[in-house]
Every structure is written in C-alpha cells, then in structure tokens.
Amino acid sequence: MTKIILDLDTGIDDTLALTYALASPELDVIGVTGTYGNVLIETGTRNDLAILELFGHSDVPVFTGEPHASTKDSFEVLDISAFIHGKNGIGEAEIPDPKGSVQEQSAVDFLIDSVNTYGDDLVIVATGPMTNLAAAIAKDPSFAEKARIVIMGGALTVPGNVSPWAEANINQDPDAANALFRSGANVTMIGLDVTLQTLLTVKETAKWRELGTVGGDFLAEATDYYIKAYETTAPHLGGCGLHDPLAVAVAVDPSLVTCLDINMKVDCEGETRGRTIGDEEKLNDPKKSMKVAVGVDVERFLHELMERITRLAADTPARES
C-alpha cells in the first residue's frame, strides 16, 4: 500500500479525488491537508471532515494549510469558482456537519514530517493551489529532494481555463507553483491537457443515485451541479472535467497517462502570468525533474473511477425514505 496525502481545496472534483483515494485498496490515506481555492480554507476543511465521516473514514486526520496565496495577505472566492462548485463547494448539497475537527499541527508541518518519515513510500497529490507545497519547500530545504508529488494543475499543450494562459490552480498562486516546478522535486503534472479529455455525464451519476444510499445521493447531487455548470462554461465538452480524481488515479497507476519528461517553470510576470511552460534555462539539462501528462487512457480511467467510487458509495447507509 502506498501512503498518500491529499492537498485539497474541496471542491466537487476534489470530493471525487478524495472518494477515489478512499476507495482504492492500493492507497493508505494518512491525511488531508486543506488549502483555499474553490472555497475558503475553512469551508474546504469542513467539507473534508464531513465527507470523510459520510464515507466511514473519520480516522483520517485533516490539517489546515495556508489560507491565501504566498504573495497576498487575504483570499476571496472567485465568482467563477462559486458558480462551478457552489457557495459551499459541494454543489449546495447538504451533508451532516462533521463531529471531528481539524488537527492542531499545521498542514505544512504535517507534509514535512510525513515526507521525512516515509520518503518514497509516500505520494502527495495536490489538487488546489500549490501554496502549501511551496511553503513546505521554503521551510525544509530537503523537502523537494524527498517528496514524490502528483499535481492537478497547469496546461502545456492547450489553453488555460481562467485565461488563455492560466489554469485555475496555478492561477491562484503562480509564484508558489513556480517555486515547486523549479525546485527539482519529482512532480507529475496532470493538467488540462489530459483532464479535459476525461468527462463524466448524468448517465454515470444516475448510477450513484440508483444505489439508494446517502453516499450515492451526495455524489450524484454534487456532481450533477458541476456537470450543469460545465454545460454553461464549456458546452462543447459534453460533460464535466474529472481533473482532480485523475491525479489520484495516476498516483495509483501511472500507466493511465503518457508523459513528457521536461523541466518546467511558471510565468510570474506580465500578461502570461500563470502560464506553465518548459524552462528554457534547463532545456539542455539532461536531468528532467518533471513529467507532464499529454495522453490518457480515457476508457480505462472512467472504468476505474466508476468501479471504485460506486463501490465506496454503495457501502454507506441507505437513504431514509
């Protein structure tokens, strides 16, 4: 079993990432670290705790991370984030308030301690802004050397989704993402290049609703909200992008994607701020620290997602009639 920490801005597709991880026998989820992004950090960690409880995993600890970008002193949810994920981050679906609360240790310290303890046996999957990871690198210079990281973020061969240049997670804190990319850390980037090829429709969410369980109902309601938002923002796709769960799926099985070995950077100045692109200064460096996914086995991933998450949702209490 591979130990995994999920760094989430929960978020509907973050919810699917979390449930994919909980449903994967290959993974031991040792913690969730919260970040801001789709929602305020307090909303995101509330969702993490509530979702973990709903799916019977209240033993997984949740840690609070940095509440705003590394170059800012506050954070407000963007209108587009609230439109796509709902004000509560989970498509206005209502699930019971969690009984547990966040840990006292900070997310950054938990990330550092875990990497020092488990080394290569641990993978960190980050599906929000890269602020917590950059803070860990700044605090512990050996973090970048030791950590194995998969991120959902960026776009190499396609345009961004918040501007022609920038993808949402990178856009929240380009400086943090640049610090991560240029740190030499072992990072696999699961960007829009592949996540917008993996789509879910109401045909699949109907299967979750048919289970007649509280977990199935919750996932169907939240994901239908997300699918509806995509009908407005990206009608040409015909479904919602499975960004964050694809990153977890790749942590389980890297053969789901084909990757380009490359050294990357993030533009931090000018109109292209937030663009993820090859680092020209390291073009001739034979050592490539990053892998960028450019191809994905869509059918196999969708099969794994439905098989795993449906099994997890089936195992929650029956809905009250």
243 classed as catalytic:
yes
Find the farthest-apart pair of alpha carbons in the chain and give their distance in angstroms, rounded. Answer: 64
Closest contact distance (angstroms) between CB of 291 and ligand RIB is: 18
125 vs 211 by CB, closer to ligand RIB: 125
CB distance 136 to 187 below 8 Å? no
- Give the span between the Cα atoms of 112 and 274, in whole angstroms: 26
Residue nearest to ligand RIB (CB): 168
298 vs 314 by CB, closer to ligand RIB: 298
**Residues forming the site for ligand RIB (CB under 6 A):** 9, 11, 13-14, 37-38, 127-128, 152, 161, 167-169, 243-244
13 vs 66 by CB, closer to ligand RIB: 13
Q: Which helix (H) or strand (E) holds 8?
A: strand 2-8
Pick what 224 binds: Ca ion, ligand RIB, none; C-beta below 5 to 8 Å, kind-dependent.
none
Closest contact distance (angstroms) between CB of 314 and ligand RIB is: 25
Residue of 24, 127, 197, 205 interacting with Ca ion (CB under 5 A): 127
7, 9, 13, 193: the active-site residue: 9
Pick what 161 binds: ligand RIB, Ca ion, none; C-beta below 5 to 8 Å, kind-dependent.
ligand RIB
Q: What CA–CA distances, in Å, run from 305 to 245, 260, 299?
A: 8, 24, 10
7, 85, 243, 244: the active-site residue: 243
Pick what 221 binds: Ca ion, ligand RIB, none; C-beta below 5 to 8 Å, kind-dependent.
none
CB distance 108 to 65 below 8 Å? yes
Q: Could you give the strand order of the β-sheet that contains 290-296, starting from the edge strand earlier in sequence?
A: 62-64, 27-34, 2-8, 122-126, 148-152, 186-190, 290-296, 257-262
Q: Using the rule CB under 5 A, is 70 a contact of Ca ion?
A: no
Q: 202 CB contacts (<8 Å, ≥6 apart)?
A: 224, 227
57 classed as catalytic:
no
> Number of C-alpha atoms within 13 angstroms, CB side, residue 186?
14
- Give the span between the Cα atoms of 17 and 98, in whole angstroms: 19
61 vs 128 by CB, closer to ligand RIB: 128
Residue of 5, 6, 11, 217 interacting with Ca ion (CB under 5 A): 11
Q: 163 CB contacts (<8 Å, ≥6 apart)?
A: 171, 274
Q: Is the dihedral of CA 100, 30, 131, 298 positive or negative?
A: negative
50 vs 168 by CB, closer to ligand RIB: 168
Ramachandran bin of 304, using left for φ above 0, alpha for ψ from -120 to 50, beta for the remaining angles: alpha
Place of tokens 């950090």: 41
Pick what 168 binds: Ca ion, ligand RIB, none; C-beta below 5 to 8 Å, kind-dependent.
ligand RIB
Size of the site for Ca ion (CB under 5 A): 6
Pick what 178 binds: ligand RIB, Ca ion, none; C-beta below 5 to 8 Å, kind-dependent.
none
- Give the span between the Cα atoms of 18 and 2, in whole angstroms: 15
Q: Is 218 helix (H, G, I), strand (E, B) or coil?
A: helix
Pick what 167 binds: ligand RIB, Ca ion, none; C-beta below 5 to 8 Å, kind-dependent.
ligand RIB
Q: Using the rule CB under 5 A, is 43 a contact of Ca ion?
A: no
11 vs 65 by CB, closer to ligand RIB: 11
List interacting residues with Ca ion (CB under 5 A).
9, 11, 14, 127-128, 244
Cite the active site residues.
9, 243
